[in-house]
């Protein structure tokens, strides 16, 4: 059975000719690949479609042959009939400033969403927004080309962490099953996603992990990246370093990773990743930051040698009970 919002969205897309697609600031694999899939779906219906994001496309998705279809910048105030926002809890999350007069469609799979658009379709149980786009494609009677199928499959792999995160459910496999039937190529996508690193990224990994310290019987792992690491390796400071965190978090018994990133002398942005009961948001809030249960961040200032001792000790005392209960 098709839900009401989905039917309304399909009808609206059919009626409109000029469609803009945008997603959130610092877009991720799910929002980028789903945007590209929707772009090709719209094109196959004869629509004028543009993807316009405020922030750059991150690696490796910027290596997609059609990542050039993505414009970085602002959606002008009067160029389109319809704007589709992917994974934006509210309009400001898109970074777009001129959406006031537009008919807006909000498609999201996160719990927190302000239902700000003319049509809101929010499904927290969807493993990726790509799975919702798949349903939309079916509602629009789209022919799922290998290109569209690969984009959607790539989005699912990205958002479920290769079918390892807690959002990996039956639907993730079900949609992936159908996408591979339509020509998505899992081997090609995994080569693309995971075997596309530059030597510099791997050298960075070595540097950062060589500074690993563990606290509280290994339940807390701390790693550090200095500005000079990026300068020496000629890497951009916006580099996505999640792959380093993932390795630190893979240490047996580690429940929380504190990743210190030097912003300027004596100022560090600390990103927190945790699992189980260890509450990242609680830690971040203590230090004046914020975030989610398993991903959060905050900024600290001070002498590095002191911070690297004091912050983990404070985290241990904050989470003592939770860390002991696994
Ligand atoms: Mn997503």
pLDDT of residue 21: 98
Residue 56 makes CB contacts below 8 A (sequence gap 6+) with 62, 72, 238
Backbone angles phi, psi at 274, to 5 degrees: -140, 175
Of the two residues 196 and 33, the one the predictor is more confident about is: 33
% pLDDT > 70, the chain: 99
Which neighbouring-strand residues pair with 190?
none
Q: How far is the CA of 308 from the centre of ligand 1 (A)?
A: 33
Q: How far is the CA of 28 from the centre of ligand 1 (A)?
A: 8
Q: How far is the CA of 152 from the centre of ligand 1 (A)?
A: 11
Position 1 pLDDT exceeds 90: no
Q: How far is the CA of 149 from the centre of ligand 1 (A)?
A: 17
Residue 126 makes CB contacts below 8 A (sequence gap 6+) with 109, 132, 171
Query: Which DSSP string corresponds to 208-224?
Result: HHTT-EEETTTTEEEEE
pLDDT of residue 73: 98
CATH number at 201-324 = 3.10.310.30
Q: How far is the CA of 210 from the centre of ligand 1 (A)?
A: 32
Q: How far is the CA of 66 from the centre of ligand 1 (A)?
A: 20
Mean of per-residue pLDDT scores for the chain: 95
Strands ordered across the beta sheet of 119-122: 70-72, 48-53, 18-23, 82-86, 104-108, 119-122
Average pLDDT over residues 221-249: 92
pLDDT digits (tens, 9 = 90+) for 108-123: 999 889 999 999 999 9
- What is the C-alpha end-to-end distance of the chain, expressed in Å? 41
Q: How far is the CA of 90 from the centre of ligand 1 (A)?
A: 15
Of 125, 128, 148, the C-alpha closest to 138 is 148
Position 324 pLDDT exceeds 90: no
Of 28, 61, 40, the C-alpha closest to 129 is 28
Position 316 pLDDT exceeds 90: yes
Average pLDDT over residues 264-285: 95
Position 2 pLDDT exceeds 80: no
Average pLDDT over residues 190-199: 93
Q: How far is the CA of 153 from the centre of ligand 1 (A)?
A: 12
pLDDT of residue 268: 98
pLDDT of residue 322: 83
Average pLDDT over residues 81-93: 97
Q: How far is the CA of 197 from the centre of ligand 1 (A)?
A: 22
Q: How far is the CA of 27 from the centre of ligand 1 (A)?
A: 10
Q: How far is the CA of 214 from the centre of ligand 1 (A)?
A: 31
Three-state SS letters, 119-187: EEEECCCCCCHHHHHHHHHHHCCCCCCHHHHHHHHHHHHHHCCCCCCCCCCHHHHHHHHHHHHCCCCHH
What residues does each domain of the chain span? Answer: 4-194, 201-324
Strands ordered across the beta sheet of 256-264: 213-215, 220-225, 256-264, 267-274, 295-301, 290-291
Q: How far is the CA of 160 from the centre of ligand 1 (A)?
A: 9
Q: How far is the CA of 127 from the centre of ligand 1 (A)?
A: 7
Position 323 pLDDT exceeds 90: no
Average pLDDT over residues 279-293: 93
pLDDT grade for 326, boundaries at 50, 70 and 90:
low
Q: How far is the CA of 14 from the centre of ligand 1 (A)?
A: 25
Q: How far is the CA of 240 from the centre of ligand 1 (A)?
A: 17
CATH of 4-194, one of 3.30.2290.10, 3.40.50.2000, 3.90.1640.10, 3.10.20.30: 3.90.1640.10
4-194 and 201-324: same fold? Answer: no
Strands 256-264 and 267-274: antiparallel
60-69, 94-103, 298-307: which has the minimum mean pLDDT? 60-69
Q: How far is the CA of 225 from the centre of ligand 1 (A)?
A: 27
Position 93 pLDDT exceeds 90: yes
Cα 121 to Cα 108: distance, rounded to the nearest angstrom: 7
pLDDT digits (tens, 9 = 90+) for 142-169: 999 999 999 999 999 999 999 998 899 9
Q: How far is the CA of 313 from the centre of ligand 1 (A)?
A: 33
Neighbours of 227 (CB within 10 A): 13
């Amino acid at each position: 059975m098709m839900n009401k919002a989905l039917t309304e969205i399909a009808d609206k897309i059919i009626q409109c000719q000029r469609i803009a697609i945008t997603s959130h600031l610092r877009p991720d694999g799910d929002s980028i690949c789903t945007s590209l899939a929707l772009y090709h779906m719209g094109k196959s219906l004869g629509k004028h479609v543009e993807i316009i994001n405020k922030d750059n496309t991150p690696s490796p998705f910027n290596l997609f042959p059609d990542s050039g279809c993505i414009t970085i910048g602002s959606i002008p105030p009067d160029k389109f009939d319809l704007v589709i926002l992917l994974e934006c809890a509210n309009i400001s999350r898109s970074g777009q400033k001129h959406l006031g007069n537009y008919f807006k469609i909000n498609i999201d799979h996160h719990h927190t969403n302000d239902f700000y658009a003319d049509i809101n379709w929010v499904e927290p149980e969807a493993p990726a927004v790509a799975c919702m786009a798949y349903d939309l494609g079916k509602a629009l009677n789209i022919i799922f080309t290998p290109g569209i199928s690969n984009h959607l499959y790539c989005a699912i792999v990205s958002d479920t962490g290769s079918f390892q995160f807690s959002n990996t459910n039956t639907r993730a496999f079900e949609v992936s099953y159908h996408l591979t039937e339509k020509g998505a190529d899992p081997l090609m996508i995994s080569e693309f996603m995971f075997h596309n690193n530059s030597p510099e990224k791997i050298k960075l990994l070595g540097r950062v992990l060589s500074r690993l310290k563990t606290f509280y019987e290994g339940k807390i792992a701390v790693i550090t990246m200095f500005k000079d690491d990026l300068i020496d390796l000629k890497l951009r400071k916006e580099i996505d370093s999640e792959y380093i965190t993932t390795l630190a978090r893979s240490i047996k018994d580690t429940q929380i990773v504190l990743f210190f990133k030097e912003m300027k002398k004596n100022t560090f942005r600390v990103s927190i990743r945790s699992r189980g009961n260890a509450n990242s948001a609680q830690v971040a809030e203590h230090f004046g930051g914020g975030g989610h249960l398993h991903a959060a961040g905050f900024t600290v200032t001070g002498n590095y040698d002191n911070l690297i001792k004091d912050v983990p000790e404070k985290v241990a005392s904050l989470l003592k009970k939770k860390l002991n209960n696994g």
